[in-house]
């Protein structure tokens, strides 16, 4: 692998730290993981080999997810039973994905990454239009009853406990296997796939889906990170500064800045995401 610039090791680490900080900050503002932003910058700008970029990203995904989950779990927003049930599928998927990553070539990774990125951008666009739509009570589900997946959370805006019911746990399990595979292949948390699986397919409230997705991402990422480590794809010289930078950035973002609500700014980011996904796709096609 080669780093582009004729930089000294110190400069390289400093640049990676700054970029990772920015990716973590932006990620927490947009509600995306840092990986989706970080990997294109590392590969397209710094010319880091995509395998090392993925290896570095996957560890930072664990860091941000665990940090965020610590708060969500304390506030009782993450549904730990749903999370544990679905983790069976995401972890199995992550193992599949990380094994596949060792077999498919770099170009296929670029292509898939571009596709997932475009999908995430479009998913954000959809969320922009239909936030907080009213939801109806899902039909009763025997398996969800048996597993005791239903729950409740404290809603800050209304100041009351909101109870919710879960259905179609097996559909969720299937979708989570796919999300886990993508996560293992690309070194991203793939929250953009996990949230709809819970929110749309299983009927969990969007806040609970987001919190639970964050809670699960760490375990999914740990499964693939183990495989990447053993394969030697986690280079401390890149993964170290990435991990520190992304975590500090995400922390600063969640602490000092409120989530971006402004529609036009979000539209701008969606446009940037689509453009980057086009770059990644074309790198996948033309090599």
Partner 1 sequence: MSPEPAEPPSPRETAAATTTAVTEEVVPLTPELLISQLLRGGVLLSLSLVTCGMVMTFFRHPDYFSSPDALQRLTSPDSAPHRLPDVFEGVMAVRGQSFVMAGLLVMITVPVLRVALSLGIFRAQKDRTFAAITTSVLALLLLAFLLGGVE
Which residues form the interface with partner 1 (CB under 8 A)? Answer: 1-3, 6-10, 12-13, 52, 59, 62-63, 66-67, 69-71, 73-74, 76, 79-81, 84-85, 87-88, 91-92, 94-95, 98-99, 102, 146-152, 163, 218-219, 221-232, 234-241, 243-244, 247
Shortest distance in whole angstroms from residue 231 CB to partner 1: 6
Nearer to partner 1, 8 or 262 (CB): 8
CA 94 – CA 67 distance, rounded (Å): 21
Strands (E), the chain: 151-155, 160-164
Instruction: In angstroms, give the least distance from the CB of 84 to partner 1.
Output: 6
User: Least distance from C-beta 80 to partner 1, angstroms?
Assistant: 7
Which residue, 12 or 113, has its beta carbon nearer to partner 1? 12
Q: What is the distance between the alpha carbons of residues 274 and 10, in angstroms, rounded to a whole number? A: 33
**Token pair for 33:** 């993981």
Structure tokens that stand for 141 in this block: 């589900």
Integer CA distances (angstroms), 240 to 66, 136, 219, 271, in order:
17, 46, 20, 30
Q: Least separation, in Å, of the C-beta of 107 and partner 1?
A: 19
100/118 with CB nearer partner 1: 100
Q: How far is the CB of 218 from partner 1 (least distance, A)?
A: 4
Angstrom CA distances, 201 to 170, 174, 262, stand at 10, 11, 28
Distance CA 194, CA 199 (A): 9
Please identify, using beta-carbon distances, which residue of 91 and 124 lies nearer to partner 1: 91
């Amino acid at each position: 692998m080669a780093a582009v610039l004729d930089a000294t090791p110190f400069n390289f680490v400093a640049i990676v730290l700054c970029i990772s900080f920015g990716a973590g900050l932006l990620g927490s503002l947009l509600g995306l993981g840092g990986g989706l932003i970080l990997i294109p910058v590392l590969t397209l700008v710094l010319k880091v080999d995509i395998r090392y970029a993925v290896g570095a990203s996957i560890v930072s995904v664990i860091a941000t997810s665990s940090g965020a989950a610590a708060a969500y779990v304390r506030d009782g927003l993450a549904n730990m039973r749903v999370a544990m049930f679905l983790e069976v599928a995401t972890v199995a998927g992550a193992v599949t994905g990380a094994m596949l990553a060792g077999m498919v070539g770099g170009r296929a990774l670029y292509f898939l990454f571009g596709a997932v990125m475009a999908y995430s951008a479009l998913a954000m666009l959809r969320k922009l239009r239909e936030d907080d739509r009213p939801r109806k009570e899902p039909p009763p589900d025997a398996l969800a009853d048996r597993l005791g997946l239903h729950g409740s959370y404290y809603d800050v805006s209304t100041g009351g406990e909101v109870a919710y019911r879960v259905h179609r746990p097996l559909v969720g399990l299937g979708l989570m296997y796919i999300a886990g595979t993508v996560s293992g292949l690309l070194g991203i948390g793939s929250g953009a796939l996990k949230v709809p699986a819970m929110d749309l397919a299983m009927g969990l409230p969007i806040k609970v889906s987001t919190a639970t997705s964050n809670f699960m991402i760490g375990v999914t990422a740990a499964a693939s990170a183990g495989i990447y480590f053993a394969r030697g794809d986690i280079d401390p010289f890149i993964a170290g500064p990435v991990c520190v930078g992304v975590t500090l950035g995400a922390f600063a973002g969640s602490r000092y800045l409120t989530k971006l609500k402004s529609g036009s700014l979000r539209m701008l980011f969606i446009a940037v995401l689509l453009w980057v996904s086009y770059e990644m796709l074309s790198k996948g096609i033309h090599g």
